Structure 1
Amino acid sequence: MKNGELLEQSNKQLAHFEKLVNKDHVLTDEQKKSLKTQKLKVGVDLGTSSIVLTVLDKNSHIIYGDFEYDHAVQDGIVVNYMDSVNILRRLKKKAEENIGVELTTAAGAIPPKTGEKSSKVVANVIEEAGFTCTNVVDEPTAAATFLKIKNGTVVDIGGGTTGITIFKNKKIQTVIDEPTGGFHMTLVLGGRYKIKNEEAEKLKRNKDREEEVYTVIRPVVEKMATIVEKLGSQVEDPVIVVGGATNFTEFTTTFSKVLGRKVYKPLYPQFVTPLGIALCDHAK
């Protein structure tokens, strides 16, 4: 498949999910009846700025999505256990009410190389919220699963970390994780405008001021790209960036300039990893 066509199928799914997520999407009685006989797939993405719940049917078709903003995770690590559990319980209950089916299992994810302890905490949050946790994968691998990557470099930029996974013939060749992400953009904005982090976060998401904001946070993006660039010949094409922190028009332009190669970004890149996590439910 040509690189220009690589994301076409994924973009259709992402556009569909964007129409469903956080819209209190209620299924018809016929749809609910059909789902009662299926083994659904559920993904839980415990992010630095939000917790996302995704639900797929047995054929991996998207049927539901929801999220809540939070600050229960920092640099990829759960720092407020009960907040995470309570948010996830609410998301689970709301999903079950809307789709009419009990959600019994779920998969989770962690930044690369954050260790067994981090994986265990994520699994415990999922279990405490009422699921059986079937799997905990690293975030770039989840993203690659959704994007159906055989060869390439996935750069998953979250709130607190930048995770990079390089794939060749569907096998992981290199995995690294660096402590820089969307929150560091927020810190730079806060310092530049002398405002609190909460205000800086809102400013970062203000599309009307994107050009102004991006001028300030561009050095952070360049630093992220430099992390990839230092991997040299290990980097496999295509390079694909995902994660909410990539939601700037000029993001891939900056990355491409540093790397000296084409960089791709899916539509709604913040939803790539959550959907990939759901695909990993039941899989080991």
Structure 2
Amino acid sequence: MSGRSTMQNVNSAFEYCDQLVKDFERVIEHPIVSKSSVYYTGIDLGTAYIVLAVLDENYQPVAGAYRFANVVKDGMVVDYIGAIRIVKELKQELEERLDTELVYAAAALPPGTMALDSGVIKHVVQGAGFEITNLLDEPTAANAVLKIKDGAIVDIGGGTTGITILKDGEVIYVADEPTGGTHFSLVIAGAYKMSFDEAENYKQNPKNHRELTPVVGPVVEKVSSILNRHLRDYQVETIYLVGGTCCLEGIETIIARQTGIPTYKPQNPMFVTPLGIALNCTQEIL
């Protein structure tokens, strides 16, 4: 595939993605109180943040909320009661803002962890008062927004890096490694003599990103080495980044340099997966 056609594919994919994310960012601040016959909620239980995305009957964003949380570690729920409490509180907050009851929800897990943690995720969603209608892996959820046919979707979350390789629209390989934003924050905390929470906040401020690039560079290089190991047996011509950790300015440039593969990310990669989860929500209870 030529560089020009690759860029055309990237621009086409990100046009829909970026518009959906912009709409979602808008309704987080100003929910759309509509007369939708049904609402679909996507629940993203991340290591750093829990995000709820609510879509209407036409699968358009109408509301959203997120909260910093420490209930998941390396892609696994470690605080079951805390997870239920936060999801329930966010659910109630959104129900009040929309003046409706939210019934149906979907959730997702890192690739390869379905057998280990799917029951726990399902019980968290149900414990918060939802009917769960779908449970899928995170990169597959992200691709509902990205709509990639060929390439690798790399979801760098707080605790893990999920990798999904697609060929002709079909998933041909998935993997998950325990390296993510938590490791970035630990490095920042050590370098600046901060607490972990202070480092997390410092990392999230875009004004600090340029300064932090050389500090977290070794961790980005480790992520790149993980990608090289998993992608080497496949003809991957493009890497697409999603996940909150990818908000770090310039991360795509380092990964592209380390892997030798053109690497792109949408404008706000943090919200791609929760929106993809919501797009996979239905009214058919699991």
Give the TM-score of the pair, scaled to structure 2. 0.92
Partner of residue 280, structure 2: 280
Q: What runs of 5+ residues in structure 2 fail to find an aligned partner?
A: 1-7
- Name the CA shift for 1:55/1:235 in 2 (closer, same or farther; >3 Å): farther
Shift of 1:202: 1.6
In the TM superposition, structure 1's runs of 4+ consecutive aligned residues that sit over 3 Å from their partners are none
Local SS of the residue matching 2:194: coil
| Counterpart contact for 1:228–1:235, Cα < 8 Å | no
1:171-196 Cα offsets, whole Å, 9 max, x none, are 11000000000000011112222322
Question: Is the counterpart of residue 81 in structure 1 residue 74 in structure 2?
Answer: no
**In the comparison of the two structures, how many residue pairs are matched?**
276
Matches within 5 A, 1:137-148: 137-148=136-147
- Name the CA shift for 1:235/1:130 in 2 (closer, same or farther; >3 Å): farther
Shift of 1:235: 4.6
Distance 1:235 1:111 in 2: 23
Point out the more displaced range, 157-166 or 101-110. Answer: 101-110
Q: What runs of 5+ residues in structure 1 fail to find an aligned partner?
A: none
1:38-97 Cα offsets, whole Å, 9 max, x none, are 232110001111111111112211111111111111111111111111111111111111
Partner of residue 256, structure 2: 256
Partner of residue 211, structure 1: 210
Distance 1:188 1:266 in 2: 25
Matches within 5 A, 1:101-180: 101-180=100-179
One of 12, 18, 29 as aligned partner of 2:19: 12
Please provide the CA RMSD for this pair.
1.6
Distance 1:39 1:138 in 2: 24
Partner of residue 3, structure 2: none
- Name the CA shift for 1:181/1:169 in 2 (closer, same or farther; >3 Å): same
Identity %: 41
| Counterpart contact for 1:166–1:173, Cα < 8 Å | yes
